[in-house]
Amino acid sequence: MSSAPPSTPRRPSILTLVSISAAGALSMNIFLPSLPAMARDFGVEYGFMQLSVSAFLAVSAVLQLLCGPISDRFGRRPVVLGSFAIFLLATLGALLATDAGWFMLFRLIQAVVTTGFVISRAVVRDIVPAEQAASMIGYVTMGMSLVPMVAPTLGGVLDETLGWRASFVAMGLAGLAVMTLCAFDLTETARGGGVPLRQQVATYPVLARSQRFWGYALAATLSAGSFYAYLGGAPFVGQVVLHLSPAEVGYWFAGPSIGYALGNYLSARFSTRIGMNRMILSGALICSVFLVLALVVDLMGGLTPLVFFGSVGLMGLGNGMLLPNANAGMMSVRPELAGTASGLGGAMAVAGGAGLAALAGALLHDDTGALPLLVIMAGSAVASIGFILWVMIRERQVISRG
């Protein structure tokens, strides 16, 4: 008498997976046009309020290392639902905060929502074979990339009409909607007990001894760092230097998202033909050339919204070409440690971005103009060229010796 095979759990829809990631992107972007107004409202310097971007990213970097192993042990569903519950409570706290200190505390707790970036990819790996995972993750990323195009524009309009707290109300409503969707549609997909955190941490020295891993990881960290520095400084440059309204800053924020989506398309279409390292180098060169040109224009006194945000849009194009290939490069160093490499490299990128964003916020003042931000962005992009060349030279040396 044969027993019936166990039933396969129903797969969560792609809408659910996109929504989990999109909620994190929304929380990072929607309030950016309001940063100067928030600093005035709380009576603090812009540099302190900018910590709501850079410190948020730093907390997210730590979560990149922890949430994957935790979800392996306890399941994807409880981690996602628990994260959104904490996020909703933190959003309420940020709305009710009466001073900048309490606001910043609740803002940092809100970073728990960024676990969705990691968990959505883990769910994809759970439900489809390896050869299909990259394609499905691409669809999730494409859907998520729409949020940074729309969120700052919405935040700018909300700020002008209802004040900056309206953006946090929108965050809360979006978080509640996604949590409800997950409660009904996100089935448990994790299998087995997973790899303990201490075992994953024990594999870090293996990667730390690899020059290729460091080359790819640092190229990704510095290239992404240009974008994170932009997130921290662009609201100040847009409103104080270029004299744009919050809504106008929001409109211009769509530029890097459009560029990044196009870069992702080029990466998916041509990486196999051109080669991973050449795509990374091409992306780094695109980022560097246009950011350096914007820096030169600023030094000549000709910076305009089109020059500044246009160069950042082309930076997004370069990042869209560089980052997918650099991430693939990190995971190719030791394929059996792909998950560890992805988590460690991702944490480095976000932590490095947090540092550059904090530096940009600290250096920008009324009398500095956009110069400190452009120097940080251009310098970071140019440095990424050096690290991918380091990898390419190393690989040629290995081939010549072989």
Residue 85 confidence (pLDDT): 96
Q: Radius of gyration of the chain from Cα atoms? A: 21
Q: Kindly report each contact of residues 333-339 with a partner whose C-beta sits within 8 Å and lies 24 or more positions away, as own/partner.
A: 333/207, 333/210, 333/212, 333/213, 333/216, 334/206, 334/207, 334/210, 334/213, 337/203, 337/206, 337/207, 339/68, 339/195, 339/200
User: Are the C-beta atoms of residues 243 and 308 closer than 8 Å to each other?
Assistant: no
379-401 confidence digits (pLDDT tens): 999 999 999 999 998 888 777 77
| Residue 232 CB contacts under 8 Å (≥ 6 apart), including other chains | 50, 53, 54, 356, 357, 358, 360, 361
The pLDDT assigned to 377 comes to: 94
Domain extent listing, the chain: 10-202, 203-402
Say whether pTM exceeds 0.75: no
Residues of the chain with pLDDT under 50: 1-7, 130-131
Task: For residue range 67-84, list pLDDT tens digits in order.
Answer: 767 777 777 889 899 999
For residue 196, the model assigns a pLDDT of 61
Q: The domain 10-202: what is its CATH number? A: 1.20.1250.20
Q: For position 4, what pLDDT does the model report? A: 43
Find out whether 314 and 378 touch, Cβ atoms under 8 Å.
Answer: no
- As a whole number of angstroms, the distance between CA 394 and CA 401 comes to 11
- Nearest residue to 83 (alpha-carbon basis) of 27, 35, 44: 27
* CATH fold for domain 203-402: Growth Hormone; Chain: A; (1.20.1250)
Residue in 176, 177, 158, 178 with CA at minimum distance from that of residue 167: 158
Q: What is the pLDDT at residue 148?
A: 72
Kindly report the backbone phi and psi dihedral angles of residue 29, in degrees, each rounded to the nearest multiple of 5, phi listed first: -115, -30
Quote the pLDDT of residue 381.
94
Q: How high is the pLDDT of residue 169?
A: 95
pLDDT tens digits, one per residue of 97-138:
989 999 999 999 999 998 887 787 777 767 766 445 555 665
